[in-house]
Each structure stands twice: as structure tokens, then as C-alpha cells.
């Protein structure tokens, strides 16, 4: 004991820690100091090893790309149509789609308001393999300017909206549609005189009853009055050309079997 006794029989003991416990504590301190010297952790000191999370990630990415290179080399030698029939290519394409595209277009590729449905045959900028690949690689900007001032009065806008609805056989006011036909000439510059659109500038086909931003008279009126701007980001900085080739095939496989061949 330490010789201290109080309350008659309470003694203060001196029981040192086991030696192995003390050495473990010392080793832990030494390891901590060594870790801070080797790796970043003290202010702006970067550590003697020069390790960074970014560097480790890039190294692991290079290793993964090297391992995948033979697989993608085989995919590159195949056409988009051939890849659509390759189960392994479609499995890879599915992972690429889920990791990069599903956030906007949905896991089933059916899209939502403002995000195109990829399972139909309606392509704003064209549905050939080359056009879809270009869309993924470079991205797209679709812009519909406000056209109310060019169309005329509020009644004119309403009449044009009904004429647009009539082009696809959607419910509309016949009299208003007839009155709006003459004003549609303002819209024809982009959508064409027949309303079938223009893939060169991403002008939608107004005759197919597919509506990206809502359906009905008020939705069309809002579009004419306020316009829309939509952006599809470019993926060339995140995906390799080989990955984009596989992803193109995967996207096209959702639509009709002949979509990749006909571009419709």
C-alpha cells in the first residue's frame, strides 16, 4: 500500500499497470507520431509519402481501366446493333446507365416531366446511333423562347395552343384551332409547317402526342408564354468513348428493335 489509511480500514493501494499495457500505450503514441509524419494531418503538412485521397482514387481508377480494357476493346469492335444482342454488353450498359443516367431518366428510362422518355421512338435530336452517341458525348441544350409577343394577344396564344393540340389529335377546341392555324406560322420556323419538328435544333414533333413538359391547353399556353430551356450535360469528361459506345447501345435497346437502324 501507499501507507495512506483513513476511515479506519480504507487503504490506498499502488497497483501499476501491466507491463504489456504500458508498452502498448507507448507503441500507440509512436505509431501516431509516425502516421502524422508519413501522411497529411498536421495543418498544411502533406506528409513524407505524398499520399492523397485523390491520388489513391486515380490510381485505383487506372488499375480498373486497365483490367477492363480487353472487355471494352471487344465491345468497340462491335456495332451498336450487335451490342444490343450481347448480354455482357447490356449488363455493363445497365450499370453505366444506373450510375450516370437514371437520376434524371429514371431506372426504367421512362423519364419524367422535363426528362425525356428513352423507351419510345421520339428523339428530339435524332435517334440514330451516331446522334445518340453525340448527345451523350457533347450534351444538348434545348431552348424554346417565349413566343407570346410574336403570336399576338392572349386569345391568339390560346388559339395557337389549341391548334398545336389538334396536330396530335389531342382534345381541343375546334374553332380555336382553326383560328390559331394562321398564327402557327410563327412556330413553323422551328417545328416545321407540318409540326413534325426538327432534330437539327431539337424542336419537338408536335404531331405524336408525346409531351415533355405537360399536356393540355394550359400547359401549351404556358410553354408559348414563358418558353423553356433544358440542358443535357456532356459526359465526355466522365465516360470514356468506349463506355459511351456501350451506353449508346443500352439506351437504344429500350426503344423499338428497329430504332437503331432506322433512326426513328
Question: What is the pLDDT, as a whole number, of residue 264?
Answer: 38
Give yes or no: residues 61 and 37 share one domain.
no
Question: What is the pLDDT, as a whole number, of residue 223?
Answer: 95
Give yes or no: residues 166 and 237 share one domain.
no
Dump pLDDT digits (tens) for 76-120. Answer: 999 999 999 999 999 999 999 999 999 999 999 999 999 999 999
Question: What is the pLDDT, as a whole number, of residue 256?
Answer: 55
Give yes or no: residues 222 and 149 share one domain.
yes
Give yes or no: residues 211 and 147 share one domain.
yes
Query: Once rounded to an integer, what is the mean pLDDT over residues 144-158?
Result: 95
Give yes or no: residues 92 and 124 share one domain.
yes
Give yes or no: residues 197 and 125 share one domain.
no
Q: Provide the number of structural domains found in the chain.
A: 3
Dump pLDDT digits (tens) for 125-150. Answer: 999 999 999 999 999 999 999 999 99
Which range (9-13, 20-24, 26-30) has the least confidence? Answer: 9-13
Of 9, 34, 51, which residue constitutes the final position of a domain? 51
Question: What is the pLDDT, as a whole number, of residue 187?
Answer: 95
Give the CATH number for residue 185. Answer: 1.10.760.10
Query: Once rounded to an integer, what is the mean pLDDT over residues 208-224?
Result: 93
Query: Once rounded to an integer, what is the mean pLDDT over residues 244-259?
Result: 84
Residue 149 structural domain: 143-232
Is residue 215 very low, low, confident or very high in pLDDT (cuts 50, 70, 90)?
confident
Whether 5 has a pLDDT exceeding 90, the answer reads: no
Give yes or no: residues 244 and 134 share one domain.
yes
Question: What is the pLDDT, as a whole number, of residue 109?
Answer: 95
Give yes or no: residues 67 and 123 share one domain.
yes
Dump pLDDT digits (tens) for 37-82. Answer: 999 988 889 999 999 999 999 999 899 889 999 999 999 999 999 9
Given a contact cutoff of 8 angstroms between Cβ atoms, the answer to whether 180 and 155 are in contact is no
Amino acid at each position: 500500500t501507499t501507507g495512506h489509511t483513513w476511515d479506519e480500514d480504507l487503504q490506498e493501494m499502488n497497483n501499476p499497470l501491466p507491463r504489456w499495457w504500458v508498452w502498448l500505450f507507448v507503441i500507440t503514441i509512436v505509431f501516431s507520431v509516425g502516421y502524422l509524419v508519413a501522411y497529411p494531418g498536421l495543418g498544411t503538412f502533406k506528409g513524407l509519402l505524398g499520399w492523397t485521397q485523390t491520388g489513391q482514387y486515380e490510381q485505383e481508377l487506372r488499375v480498373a481501366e486497365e483490367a477492363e480494357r480487353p472487355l471494352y476493346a471487344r465491345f468497340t469492335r462491335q456495332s451498336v446493333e450487335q451490342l444490343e444482342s450481347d448480354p455482357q454488353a447490356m449488363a455493363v450498359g445497365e450499370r453505366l446507365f444506373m450510375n450516370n443516367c437514371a437520376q434524371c431518366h429514371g431506372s426504367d428510362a421512362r423519364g419524367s416531366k422535363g426528362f425525356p422518355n428513352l423507351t419510345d421512338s421520339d428523339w428530339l435530336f435524332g435517334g440514330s446511333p451516331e446522334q445518340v452517341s453525340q448527345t451523350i458525348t457533347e450534351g444538348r441544350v434545348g431552348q424554346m423562347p417565349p413566343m407570346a409577343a410574336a403570336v399576338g394577344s392572349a386569345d391568339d396564344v390560346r388559339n395557337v395552343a389549341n391548334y398545336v393540340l389538334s396536330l396530335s389529335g389531342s382534345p381541343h377546341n375546334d374553332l380555336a384551332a382553326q383560328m390559331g392555324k394562321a398564327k402557327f406560322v410563327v412556330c413553323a420556323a422551328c417545328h416545321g409547317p407540318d409540326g413534325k419538328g426538327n432534330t437539327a435544333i431539337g424542336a419537338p414533333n408536335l404531331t405524336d402526342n408525346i409531351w415533355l413538359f405537360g399536356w393540355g391547353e394550359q400547359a401549351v399556353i404556358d410553354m408559348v408564354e414563358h418558353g423553356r430551356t433544358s440542358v443535357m450535360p456532356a459526359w465526355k469528361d466522365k465516360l470514356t468513348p468506349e463506355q459511351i459506345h456501350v451506353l449508346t447501345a443500352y439506351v437504344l435497346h429500350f426503344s423499338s428493335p428497329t430504332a437503331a437502324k432506322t433512326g426513328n
